[in-house]
Structure 1
Amino acid sequence: MSMEARELSGSDRPSAFARGSIHSIETMGTVDGPGIRFVVFCQGCPMRCAYCHNPDTWRVDSGASVTVEHLVEEFESNRSFYKTGGITVSGGEPLLQPDFVGDLFGAMHDSPSGRVHTCLDSCGYAYDPRRPDRFEHLFDECDLVLLDIKHADPEEHRSLCGCDMDSILAFGEELSRRKIATVIRHVIVPGLTDTVEECTRVGRLIASWRNVVGLELLAYHTLGVSKYEQLGIPYRLAGVPQMDSRHLPELRRAVLRGMKEGRAG
């Protein structure tokens, strides 16, 4: 069940933690990390991926201000549901708010009722390798990262997402250096990322990251198209059909083969 963040902004009492700008929460998330998750969707994203199904999270100035304490209270009110899961912060792009996410994860780790598993769902683009200190607290409090790799080719990545991939790769390298468990996600779009060659290149790209503990290939869908219509934003993949999930096992094998080749080389 998703609820608009404006209904969850909490009190204006002074806080020792950074406040966050969020879009909404999902109280029973099942696809954003292991187990049942309390999912916080941050507001704001610097990428413009052609297949993004949440364009309403792009703008950084339209979220609701919320306290860490309030989110902890919301989690604790349903803690029994999350005993095999934990909390996930997604987006938008949570790396735009590293202090807030670090404080929230730290509070969940330090909960008097018991440590809570924390998960970051990120595209990695907002990471600044010139200022790693800005993300130190977040890294220290993060148990798992779901990292989206959009495309293995730099030019195709720029065309698909409107940005280069240097900071994304730098983020992946830093996660590997810190040995933070990471699940790689790759959206399979017909005509764009659905070839064996592309998936093999993705495998080679991530081959040196020894912290990768999982791989998820996600079939492209058109469930977010209506949001573009409501917001008056042209949908760049109009006419592209949904991905047939029957092809995913073959493409998954291609990624794994690319990883094996990359490590052997």
Structure 2
Amino acid sequence: MESFGTHDGPGIRMVVFLQGCKLKCLYCHNPDSIDTHGGTEHDIEELVQRAINMKSYFGKKGGVTVSGGEPLLQSKELIHFFKRLKEEGIHTNIDTNGRVLNHFTEALLDNYTDLVMLDIKHMEEAGYRALTGAKSKETTFKFAAYREASGKKMWLRYVLIPGLTNTPELLHALGAHFKEYQTIEKIELQPYHKLGVHKWKALGWKYELEDARENTPEELKEAAAILNKYFKEVKIN
């Protein structure tokens, strides 16, 4: 839980991080949330009451963001959670990698999710597999197309890893793919960092990006300049 999140959607937000993810991204800063077992169970109504108690801090823009892990692995349960939040007039947001699109997910997205923040991992299949440990990058693009068809709001997120995801070719491919989308309000660029490395080591896992460096200010500006040609707003987090 995070009570006063300011980087997980609009305004001040209560952020709920769910356990479990089918990807194992090399840069994951919450690797302890990957395992689909474990975690702590919470009663939905208790979470709703916690959000209600924070309404005065949310203001007009804030609300609740569910992140992970991959929250849509628990779409069925989130339907009830988000339905209750909407009954209380609270803005809802999902931070997802777009790997899950079933009838529970569709019901959640179409009826109770005000905003989707979609993580775009890589624009090429080989790069996607190397970065996430999973195949078929198209699942994320099909998810994006579904959200676009609904006419409901979406933000994109993209991690800039020097030499892996921040090449001009990949950035232009990203922009070209989404340039006609009407539901995308902005794209958020996430500079690469190593804040989660200690968690990998604590789990006894090898951190494969040990030699990767952080972005220079010039690289961030250049990436933003490219994407500004395609999107309404580009934000560097």
TM-score by length of 2: 0.92
Separation in structure 2 between the aligned mates of residue 136 and residue 212 of structure 1, nearest angstrom: 18
User: Of 193, 202, 219, which aligns to 1:221?
Assistant: 193
Aligned to 2:2: 26
Deviation at 1:258, TM superposition (A): 5.2
Residues 26, 40 of structure 1: 8 Å contact kept: yes
1:230-260 deviation line (CA, Å, top 9, x unaligned)? 1101101012112224422321222243569
- What is the DSSP-based 3-state SS (H/G/I as helix, E as strand, rest coil) of the residue aligned with 1:146? strand
Deviation at 1:61, TM superposition (A): 0.8
Separation in structure 1 between the aligned mates of residue 214 and residue 100 of structure 2, nearest angstrom: 28
Aligned to 1:177: 149
TM-score by length of 1: 0.83
2:119 maps to a residue whose letter is: D
Aligned to 1:252: 224
Greater C-alpha Rg: 1
| Pair 1:121-2:107 in alignment | no
- What is the DSSP-based 3-state SS (H/G/I as helix, E as strand, rest coil) of the residue aligned with 2:229? helix
Residues 18, 71 of structure 2: 8 Å contact kept: yes
Deviation at 1:65, TM superposition (A): 1.4
1:140-190 deviation line (CA, Å, top 9, x unaligned)? 101111111011111111111112212111110100000121111110001
- What is the DSSP-based 3-state SS (H/G/I as helix, E as strand, rest coil) of the residue aligned with 2:93? strand
1:158 maps to a residue whose letter is: R
Separation in structure 1 between the aligned mates of residue 73 and residue 158 of structure 2, nearest angstrom: 21
1:103-148 deviation line (CA, Å, top 9, x unaligned)? 211111101xxx1111110011123xxx4x2223211101111111
Aligned-pair Cα RMSD in Å: 1.5
Residues 199, 252 of structure 1: 8 Å contact kept: no
> Residues 101 and 246 from structure 1, CA distance in 2 versus in 1: closer, same or farther, beyond 3 angstroms?
farther
For residues 46-195 of structure 1, the aligned pairs below 5 Å read 46-83=22-59, 84-111=61-88, 115-127=89-101, 131=102, 133-139=103-109, 140-163=111-134, 164-195=136-167
Give the number of equivalent residue pairs: 229
Separation in structure 1 between the aligned mates of residue 217 and residue 42 of structure 2, nearest angstrom: 38
Separation in structure 2 between the aligned mates of residue 245 and residue 142 of structure 1, nearest angstrom: 34
Q: Mean Cα displacement is larger for which, 174-183 or 74-83?
A: 74-83
Deviation at 1:69, TM superposition (A): 0.1
User: Of 210, 213, 226, which aligns to 1:238?
Assistant: 210
> Residues 101 and 88 from structure 1, CA distance in 2 versus in 1: closer, same or farther, beyond 3 angstroms?
same
Aligned to 1:5: none
- Structure 1 gap segments, 5+ residues each: 1-24, 261-265
> Residues 240 and 146 from structure 1, CA distance in 2 versus in 1: closer, same or farther, beyond 3 angstroms?
same
